[in-house]
Structure formats: structure tokens, C-alpha cells
Amino acid sequence: MSLRELLKDKLQEEKLLLVPKGFEVIGDIAILNLPPPLYDEKHLIAQALVSHSKNVKVVLLKKNKLAGEKRTAEFEILIGDRTATIHKENDCLFNVDIARTYFTGKLYFERSRIAGEVKDDEEILVLFCGVGPFLIPIAKKKKVNIIGLEKNPFACALFRKNAELNHIDADIIIGDANSMNNLFKKDFDRIVMPTPYGQDHFLSLARPLLKPGGTVHFYTFKKDFEISHFKRVLEELGWHIDFYRDCGSVAPRVKRYVFDIHAIE
């Protein structure tokens, strides 16, 4: 049942129309994204949500958009007393703190797809690795040398906890991807780049770290009409596009895309 249906007899028609169709659940935390005219009703909406979703123990109201380098937002706790939880995805468990680290469960398919592409013995770098949702499933399924880079120290601390929780062996470096060419002294067969919004320049920085024939999984945010131009730009920069797909909307008309590419020698 949708949130709107749940609230049918509890809200006036004009307010009901403003209720979002869905909400994201991470672990046992539900995240409500309400327009300000519904703020007076926020507790009523949160109660309706928990009464219907037995696995939800905490309800957070997202107060603004993701911002800053950490890609985090401000949240108000409507039900419960925490912003931390454990999320299960791709047979792995992840400690997450929604207020202090970036995390979305919407990329579970992509993370599983990338882990499926990896071959044993690869050297892999995961940039912007956060609490580990791309890196840990790869390390769990394949025999690889894998390393992550992340700037948010709190995300790094959760990453280490998650590596232990999932019994995997992986290194993480706390550092700035702008310095990646000084941080790594070897090349990689595969570089995974869940790049922050609007930071496409990191792709050129990653290129010297790629072995000949190596693959980059490059995530970027684009409007549909920008894709043909972006494909031309990639080709002009000497990248061959092996595959690309739309990974879903992140804002009105803006989608996350992934491009699997390799450098033309």
C-alpha cells in the first residue's frame, strides 16, 4: 500500500495530493522527503508509515538536499532516536549512519553487476568508496587485490567495521581523490568511480592509474538530452564506451548514468 493510500482518511484532499508516492528504507530507517506544506502533518505521516511497515523502527525527515563533499543532508528524527543502522544488500551487511555518511540502497543492482564483471586476480581501485557498498561485495565474491579511497573519516571508520563484519580483507585510504596520482604507486585493471555530483573532472585524473586494456565504471549525473553530447566528449577524450545505462532518477529530469569505458591506446 502506498503512503498516500495509508493516509487517505487522515488528511484533507489537497494535502493528500502532496504526499510522496514512496520513501527510501535503509536498514530499519525510513526516510521521508516531504514538501514544507506537509511539515505540520509530519508526525501523523511518520506514525502511519511505521504502523504499516513492521521492519521500520526509525523515521527521518530529510530537511534539505545532499550537499558538500560528504554528500550528506540534514535530517529530523520523527520516530526513534538514531540515524545509524545496519543495511543488508548483495548478501553483505553495512553499518551506515545516514546523517554522517552518503548511502543509497538504490544502487544495489549496479553493485552486484560490477561484482559480477570482476575476474579473479584483478587489481581494483574503488574511488569515493564510502562505507563500502561497491567494494565489499567484490571482495566477498572474488579473489582480488582491492583498495578504496574516501575523504570522509567517519565513512572510513564504518568501512573498516564493515570489512570486518563481512570477513573481507581490503585496504582503505583516507584521502582526497584530487591527489590520487600521488597516493597510488601502481596501476589498476579496474577503477570504480561512484563520482560525486558534478565532479566529472575526476575521470581524467584516474586515467594514468589504469592499466592498458583496463576498465573504468564511471558514474555521472546527467539529463537525458545531455547524453549524446557526453558520449561524444568521452570518445574525443580517447575513451571507448563498452556499455552504458540509466541507473534511475535523482532529481526532476536528472538521472544517474553509468559508463563502462576503456582507454583507446
Applying CB under 6 A, which residues contact ligand SAM?
A: 69-71, 102-103, 107, 128-130, 133-134, 149-152, 155, 176-178, 194, 196
Work out how close the CB of 258 gets to ligand SAM at its nearest, in angstroms, rounded to a whole number: 12
Q: Parallel, antiparallel, or unpaired for β 24-26 and 29-32?
A: antiparallel
Residue with smaller CB distance to ligand SAM, 235 or 246: 246
Work out how close the CB of 253 gets to ligand SAM at its nearest, in angstroms, rounded to a whole number: 19
Alpha-carbon gap, residue 40 to 42, rounded angstroms? 6
Work out how close the CB of 16 gets to ligand SAM at its nearest, in angstroms, rounded to a whole number: 33
The answer to whether the CB of 263 falls within 8 A of the CB of 214 is yes
Exposure b/e, 235-244, CB count within 10 A at least 16 = b: eeeebeeeeb
Alpha-carbon gap, residue 72 to 158, rounded angstroms? 15
Work out how close the CB of 68 gets to ligand SAM at its nearest, in angstroms, rounded to a whole number: 9
Work out how close the CB of 231 gets to ligand SAM at its nearest, in angstroms, rounded to a whole number: 22
Return the ∠ at Cα 133 (arms to 164 and 120), rounded to 5°: 80
Residue nearest ligand SAM, Cβ-based: 130
Of the candidates 29, 151, 46, the one whose C-alpha atom is nearest the C-alpha of residue 98 is 29
Residue with smaller CB distance to ligand SAM, 141 or 151: 151
Work out how close the CB of 219 gets to ligand SAM at its nearest, in angstroms, rounded to a whole number: 7
Residue with smaller CB distance to ligand SAM, 34 or 219: 219
Residue with smaller CB distance to ligand SAM, 128 or 257: 128
Q: Reduce the DSSP state of residue 138 to 3 states and report it.
A: helix
Residue with smaller CB distance to ligand SAM, 152 or 215: 152
Residue with smaller CB distance to ligand SAM, 148 or 214: 148
Alpha-carbon gap, residue 191 to 78, rounded angstroms? 39
Alpha-carbon gap, residue 156 to 148, rounded angstroms? 9
Residue that the C-alpha cell 511505521 belongs to: 50
Alpha-carbon gap, residue 83 to 96, rounded angstroms? 8
